[in-house]
Amino acid sequence: MEEFTKLVISFMGGGVIAGLISWARIARSERETRKSDYIKSQLDNLYGPIYYYTSQNNELFRLSEKIMGAYTEEYSGRKWSEEPTTQNNLKEETTQTIDISNRYIEIVTENNKKAVDIIQNNASFIDPEDNDIFQPHSENLGWLAPERDRLQWGFSHC
């Protein structure tokens, strides 16, 4: 009987240990899955969209600067005929050029509003190490909107 008891205890002990090992593996796997899901949510809801809009803004700024550089090269500092047809054509061409550049800046402004909404609606996904990056961005954009409206953001027409 004593051998049978040892056998049962040995068998149960092995099962308990195997169960504990299995439980530990499952718990660790669940923690890793939760962490992975959280990081995916951060990317999907905050960092990915912010990256999209800031990258698009950088490209729009580059295009706007390129257009205004071409504008300066083509139209600034030249002596144009005072003839009404020339002046009308010149005004139309410069207005179109400036309008394109201003449209790019308008898209940047729209993107910035979307970025602020994303930050505000998904603040829980901000990594604590990134608070110093997001806080001023949100504050500056909040200040910039009324200031832009007051100054009528963009280049004025000639």
Domain ranges across the chain: 40-151
Handedness of CA 136, 139, 144, 147 (dihedral sign): negative
DSSP codes joined into one string, 17-84: HHHHHHHHHHHHHHHHHHHHHHHHHHIIIIIHHHHHHHHHHHHHHHHHHHHHHHHHHHHTT------H
More confident: 70 or 1: 70
**Which pLDDT band holds residue 58 (cuts at 50, 70, 90)?**
very high
pLDDT of residue 153: 45
Q: How many CB atoms within 10 Å of residue 53?
A: 20
Q: How many CB atoms within 10 Å of residue 48?
A: 13
Q: State pTM to two decimals.
A: 0.67
Burial label for 104, CB within 10 Å (0-12, 13-18, 19+), is buried
At residue 77, φ and ψ (nearest 5 deg) are: 75, 5
Tens of pLDDT, residues 25-41 = 888 888 898 999 999 99
Q: Give the C-alpha distances (Å, rounded to integers) separating 46 from 115, 127, 131, 153.
A: 9, 10, 13, 27
How many angstroms separate the CA atoms of 8 and 30, rounded? 32
Query: For the chain, what is the mean pLDDT?
Result: 81
Min mean pLDDT across 4-18, 82-96, 104-118 is at: 4-18
How many angstroms separate the CA atoms of 9 and 3, rounded? 10
**Which pLDDT band holds residue 66 (cuts at 50, 70, 90)?**
very high
